[in-house]
Structure formats: structure tokens, C-alpha cells
A = this chain, B = another copy of it.
Amino acid sequence: MEPGRNRKNRMALLDAGRSMNRAFSVRELHTAARDAAPRLGLTTAYRTMERWREEGWAEEAGTRGGEAVYVLCAAQGHHHHVVCVDCGATALLEGCALEPARESARTAGFDLLDAALGSLPARCQACAGADEQSA
């Protein structure tokens, strides 16, 4: 990570993102980072997230309540994880669990987009349990 100029804001955002251990929206990131950098604007949060995505440190993990959520990727190489669509909890998947799907797509003349499939939508045990209760 190359901080470039004015590293204070980005560091606040990075710390905030790392400390929340789940998928989060830009708005949530902004709110969390404001504890450390009160004058931080929402625009900068959006710009920083886009930068992280371009540089591969973050990826989009679907939407929640109408707004896009993202995950910070610790693993840099080829990997996939699951993200709970309710609470944002994440887990890394072992091995290349999407290879069969990729093969199947290839025979149909399509290339699966790893970039868009880094985070598979799922429901974690806690949220699945809560769902049963409310249903």
C-alpha cells in the first residue's frame, strides 16, 4: 500500500475497514472512520473505496438494503469467500470450489468472471436461525 500524500484520512479509513471484520457499505465505513478523522467527507470515502477496488484490496460483495457492500481481502491470490447477505459475516472458501462451474460455463462458451464472483451470497448460521424464528 502506497499512502501517497495526506495519509491521515486514508489511514483512518483503512483502520476502520480492517476493524469491522465483515462486509460494509461506504457509508458505514465513513461513519466508523469519522471517530479518528472527524472532518472526513463522504466523497473521500467513496473515492478511497474505488481506489481500493482498482488496486485489488477490496471487492464488491453485493448489496444490502439498496447500498453496495464491500469486503477487504486479506488473501491476494485466487480465492473466493462467502458473505452473509443479512449481517455481512464472511468466510474464506477452501480450494477452488468454483472450478466445476467454470468448466460447465466454458463448454457453453462463457468465461466466468472471477472478479464478480469473489464473494458468494450466503446466509450464516446465526442469521439463518433468526430467520426461522421470525418465520
Contact = CB atoms under 8 A, between A and B. Distances in A.
Interface of A: 62, 80, 82, 84-85, 91-95, 97-101, 103-105, 107-113, 116-117, 120-125, 128
A113 B105 CA distance: 19
Of A100, A101, A110, A122, most B-chain CB atoms within 10 Å:
A110
A126 to B, nearest CB: 9
A55 to B, nearest CB: 19
Given A100-B99, A105-B93, A117 B113 contact: no
Contacts of A105: 82, 91, 93, 97, 120, 122
A113 B99 contact: no
A109 B91 contact: yes
